[in-house]
Amino acid sequence: MTYEEAYQKLSPVGQEHLLKYYEELNGQEKKSLLQQIEELDISLLDLTKDGVKEVPKGKLAPLGALTLEEIDDKKEEFEAIGMEAIRECKVGAVLLAGGQGTRLGLDKPKGMLQIGVHKELFLFGQLINNLLEVVRKADAWIPLLIMTSEKNNEDTVSFFKEHDYFGYNEDYVFFFQQEMAPSVSYDGKIYMEEKYKLSTSPNGNGGWFSSLVKAGLTETLEKMGVEWLNIFSVDNVLQKMADPVFVGATLQADCVCGAKVVAKADPNERVGVLCLEDGKPSIVEYYEMTDEMIHSRTKEGRLSYNYGVILNYLFELETLKRIMNENMPMHVVEKKIPYIDEQASLVKPEEPNGYKFETLVLDMIRLMDNCLSFEVDRSKEFAPIKNRTGVDSLESARELMKLNKIDF
């Protein structure tokens, strides 16, 4: 892209300020800026015209789950089916690790958080330990895809290399970067974080599959024989990945998708709940639920909207490829966005000052024909680390690690 072409793209939408410092830049910086402008999705700017706006919901109805008791009754059967699929390399694991540990006081990738007390143990390391349990049991390596972001890719890849991939076979580890989206001011102007760099942020966890495709990894997976992808977030230290019982249950149910869920601790717990929307699987966020939905109960006395998702999903690869070109809603969220001002000085705001754009993995569920809701014991599989102290913190996660006899 030339300067003239960039100006022609930006001018009609009032974004020509992105070229303000062009003449001050060196050759490499000019090239970088023009490439960013060429890749810029201008259509996103239309979404900010009405500010933050929630995607309208269809008709919601409760969705039950395969309960802990039901799973226990058929555990051996499910596990045998899942193990066979794993040994045939039909299952891949996808770690969503594009975020930084800022809320935890860590200016590094979240997975680099030190969670050990009596020994060195990092969040990345414990997640790999969890996956290695399945690898040893199956006596087969599971392809592990790790999604990073532009901001943490170099640190993450280096960290894995420095720690010898935490004992994992590096031939089965693949890194790919999450796509980025521009950050804009309240009046719709794209921010700049340097004279040659647009302010961008990862486009939300719903962009993981399109980013994987863009990296050319679908061909790699197909050559290996992978038919299913188990995605999970970096911040749940008890996360069980490529769980053969979960895989087997989803396959036996003949579903194209499975979701691990936990029974809500109380009606007002702040978790997204798996449900039906216009007869298809969906997730309703806690803040979208009415009082009636929150407190509604079944004949047996259980909450009707009882099962919260923990960001551990199993997707059929063919289905993902089929739905990839369907439009997933883009969410507009208010954030604190660092930017350079008129004097090109970096400003780090203390209050939200604009919008970021995110796709959410929960919106992928809405594109599925069906989804197996698979209950897990929260004390064994749900220890998120989102805060420094209190609820869902490193402190609470360590208590659960202790309960599960993890050496740390």
Q: What is the CATH number of the domain that holds 232?
A: 3.90.550.10
Q: What is the pLDDT of residues 111-123, one digit of tens each?
A: 999 999 999 999 9
Same domain, 275 and 386: yes
**What's residue 315's pLDDT?**
98
Q: What's the mean pLDDT in 57-70?
A: 94
**What's residue 76's pLDDT?**
98
Number of domains in the chain: 2
C-alpha to C-alpha distance for 242 and 377, rounded to whole angstroms: 16
pLDDT of 373 > 80? The answer is: yes
Residue 303, C-beta contacts closer than 8 angstroms, at least 6 positions apart: 264, 267, 295, 296, 297
At residue 214 the predicted structure's pLDDT band, cuts being 50, 70 and 90, is very high
Is residue 313 a part of any domain in this protein? yes
Is residue 224 a part of any domain in this protein? yes
Same domain, 5 and 63: no
Helices (H), 215-360: 217-224, 244-252, 291-295, 317-323
Q: What's the mean pLDDT in 302-310?
A: 95
Degrees to nearest 5, angle at CA 347 with 344 and 349: 155
C-alpha to C-alpha distance for 342 and 191, rounded to whole angstroms: 11
**What's residue 267's pLDDT?**
94
Structure tokens at 283: 């997730």
Q: Looking at 49-63, 64-78, 131-145, 378-392, which range is the least confident one?
A: 49-63
Is residue 349 a part of any domain in this protein? no
Is residue 341 a part of any domain in this protein? no
Q: Which domain holds residue 266?
A: 53-330+360-403
Q: What is the pLDDT of residues 322-346, one digit of tens each?
A: 988 777 788 888 999 999 998 999 9
Same domain, 110 and 152: yes
pLDDT of 199 > 90? The answer is: yes
Same domain, 217 and 177: yes
**What's residue 145's pLDDT?**
98
**What's residue 52's pLDDT?**
63
C-alpha to C-alpha distance for 17 and 78, rounded to whole angstroms: 58
Residue 363 is classified by DSSP as H
**What's residue 50's pLDDT?**
67
Q: What is the pLDDT of residues 143-182, one digit of tens each?
A: 999 999 988 999 999 999 999 999 999 999 999 999 889 9
Same domain, 30 and 153: no
C-alpha to C-alpha distance for 215 and 225, rounded to whole angstroms: 18
Same domain, 195 and 89: yes
Residue 27, C-beta contacts closer than 8 angstroms, at least 6 positions apart: none
Degrees to nearest 5, angle at CA 307 with 305 and 310: 140
Same domain, 314 and 234: yes
Look over the chain and give the mean of its residue pLDDT values, rounded to a whole number: 94
Same domain, 186 and 244: yes
Is residue 69 a part of any domain in this protein? yes
Same domain, 30 and 66: no
Same domain, 127 and 207: yes
Is residue 338 a part of any domain in this protein? no
Is residue 23 a part of any domain in this protein? yes
C-alpha to C-alpha distance for 110 and 193, rounded to whole angstroms: 22
Same domain, 57 and 32: no
Pick the closest to residue 236 from 127, 133, 134 (CA basis): 127
User: Which amino acid is present at 17?
Assistant: H
Is residue 160 a part of any domain in this protein? yes
Percent of the chain with pLDDT strictly greater than 70: 98
Same domain, 324 and 286: yes
In the chain, the largest separation of any two C-alpha atoms, in whole Å, equals 71
